Amino acid sequence: MTKSALQIARAAYQPKLPKALTGVVAVKEGEPTQSVADQEAIEKLFPNTYGMPLIQFVEGQAQNVAEMNVGVILSGGQAPGGHNVISGLFDGIKKLNPNNKLYGFILGPGGLVDHNYKELTADIIDEYRNTGGFDIIGSGRTKLEKEEQFEKGYEILKELGIKALVIIGGDDSNTNACVLAEYYAAKNYGIQVIGCPKTIDGDLKNEMIETSFGFDTACKTYSEVIGNIERDCNSARKYWHFIKLMGRSASHIALECALQTQPNICIISEEVEANNMSLDDVVTYIAKAVADRAAAGNNFGTVLIPEGLIEFIPAMKGLIAELNDFLAANSEEFSSIEANKQREYIISKLSAENSAIYASLPEGVARQLSLDRDPHGNVQVSLIETEKLLSEMVGKKLAAWKAEGKYVGKFSAQHHFFGYEGRCAAPSNFDADYCYSLGYTASLLIASGKTGYMSSVRNTTAPAAEWIAGGVPITMMMNMERRHGEMKPVIQKALVKLDGAPFKKFAANREAWAKETAYVYPGPIQYFGPSEVCDEPTKTLQLEQAK
């Protein structure tokens, strides 16, 4: 395989570990824990894994650990640093006993169920150290939630002599990891399950998990390109750039990129929902900023839009819900209608309120809302070109204002969507170190006989040597939520907090950023050079952790 010069040089990077993990390690147990909410219901569902203590690893004395084989799964969307979690896990178990083996299940949880795996040897691991991607074993979105899947998994785990399974995933995958841990514990199968917090979306975090891995690198990659666009924008001074940023639900990525690049506008979905804003309110807000800049002679700017926005606009949420139900119940009749009459058909069938909203949408977006459904029958919001929807509606509003003499500028838009561009970038130093530490910590949780824990590395704004490694019972992060009509135990998703320090910092500056051209150009991630350039954590983490 041909490698780039950076790949060759970067392979030699030795990720930094918390000092407590560099020698012999002992376990320090904390107090028993409670789930964040619905304690009674969660305890009942997880009798074997509820209430366990927090774990911290400290420097200790050598002990003998029996030989053990370990399995690993990458679950869900790619996030920079996955390969380092696996190399940290590999190095951890090999240090405990060189005879220990690591097996990777291929293409996500499906690999466990279908018995599709490969042994990850030192040669393979060395090829992937400090690289982006999940290609060492691939990833997948199969949900591990049925008993027959757990049993199929058990068959292969037993056959390979695997003592513990590490599931690297987001909130849903870690919820499933916890259910699996409970199941194997209840059955006395002797197989432990450990989770690792992954997702570029940054929405798997809480008091004990400071950040999910991949968020740092993905945001830095997007911010580099946003900065480049801003500089282009400020050079040509003729375009408004509408940039949609990945993040299925929460707006953490958009917010972090805004803090890094200081665009003219950034929409935060959680705020739109909290203020009960309509689509027209969002459009008016952007159009007003465009008009104000035009009045000062600036017919250019940048707008950041979170991918999940549409579902946070309360009225759009209602429209989507009615459309989902209506199309599910009338799919045959709908598909028999000629394409050019489908819009009118839907307008005639929806409730008056939703019909009016649907009719006001640009043609393309209305079509996307009625056509693209996922296997569960839901609208695939990530396919909706919100950046085009907003710029088109802003353009219309400005034209109307022009006719009324309220606006005197020129409005010309460019569109971008950044998502896949950042999910497999080579991990930043932060993610390379953080992920390696998470994987290494997972090996210690296994050696200590723990199950139903998530690997946790805290104090991450300090130098890596001072990071605190340990484990958090996954049940501690759970509450009960309605999913597909049923109450289910799930890990609470962390949305942007409007009273949190990152949002407050943004809110305090956004008016100035809208008027002035206050762009910041972060440049590309640096892998070699001074620590302040290479090792800085995200603004979100710095603001959240500032004491």
Binding residues (CB under 6 A) for ligand FBP: these are 76-77, 79, 170, 199-201, 246-248, 307, 382, 423
Q: Shortest gap between Cβ of 123 and ligand FBP (angstroms)? A: 29
**H-helix or E-strand spanning residue 53:** strand 53-59
Q: How many residues does the chain have?
A: 547
163 vs 423, which CB is nearer to ligand FBP? 423
CB atoms within 10 A of CB 260: 21
The pairing of strands 453-458 and 192-197 is parallel
Instruction: Tell me whether residue 219 or residue 327 sits nearer to ligand FBP (CB atom).
Output: 219
What is d(CA 289, CA 303) in angstroms, rounded to the nearest whole number?
Answer: 10
Does residue 201 have an active-site annotation? yes
Q: In angstroms, what is the minimal distance from the CB of 63 to ligand FBP?
A: 36
DSSP codes joined into one string, 250-262: --HHHHHHHHHH-
CB of 423 to ligand FBP, least distance (A): 6
Q: How many CB atoms lie within 10 A of CB 106?
A: 19
Relative to beta strand 69-74, strand 453-458 is unpaired
The tokens of 225 are what? 């390109």
467, containing H or E segment = none
Nearer to ligand FBP, 79 or 472 (CB): 79
Q: Measuring CA to CA, how many Å separate 518 from each of 106, 234, 264, 388, 532?
A: 46, 10, 8, 24, 22
Nearest to 217 by CA among 78, 415, 87, 382: 78
Nearer to ligand FBP, 375 or 405 (CB): 375
Catalytic residue among 201, 203, 431, 433: 201
Please list, in sequence order, all residues whose beta carbon lies within 8 angstroms of the beta carbon of residue 427, skipping any fewer than 6 positions away. 80, 81, 83, 84, 130, 131, 132, 214, 217, 435
Report which of 293, 315, 197, 202 is spatially closest to residue 254, judged by C-alpha positions: 202
Residue 248 vs 510, nearer CB to ligand FBP: 248
- Compute the least distance from the CB of residue 275 to ligand FBP, in Å: 24
Residue type, 259: L
Rounded to 5°, angle at Cα 110 from 384 and 139: 55
What distance in Å separates the CA atoms of residue 247 and residue 174, rounded to the nearest whole number?
18
Closest approach of ligand FBP to the CB of residue 201, in Å: 5
Other CB atoms within 10 A of residue 239 CB: 18
CB of 180 to ligand FBP, least distance (A): 17
- For ligand FBP, give the closer residue by CB, 135 or 535: 135
Q: Output the smallest distance, CB 439 to ligand FBP, in A.
A: 17
Q: How far is the CB of 536 from ligand FBP (least distance, A)?
A: 23
* 26: β partners: 58
Taking the C-alpha atoms of residue 489 and residue 480, their distance in angstroms, rounded to an integer, is 4
Closer to ligand FBP by CB, 375 or 530: give it.
Answer: 375
Smallest separation, CB 24 to ligand FBP (Å): 34
Q: Can you give 74-128 as a three-state secondary structure string?
A: EECCCCCCHHHHHHHHHHHHHHHCCCCEEEEECCCHHHHHCCCEEECCHHHHHHH
Half-sphere exposure in the Cβ direction for 374 (13 Å, CA): 9
Residue 247 or 522: which CB sits closer to ligand FBP? 247
DSSP 3-state of 56:
strand
Torsion of CA 163, 168, 173, 175, to 10 degrees: 60
Name which of 49 and 251 has its Cβ closer to ligand FBP: 251
Active-site residue numbers?
Answer: 201
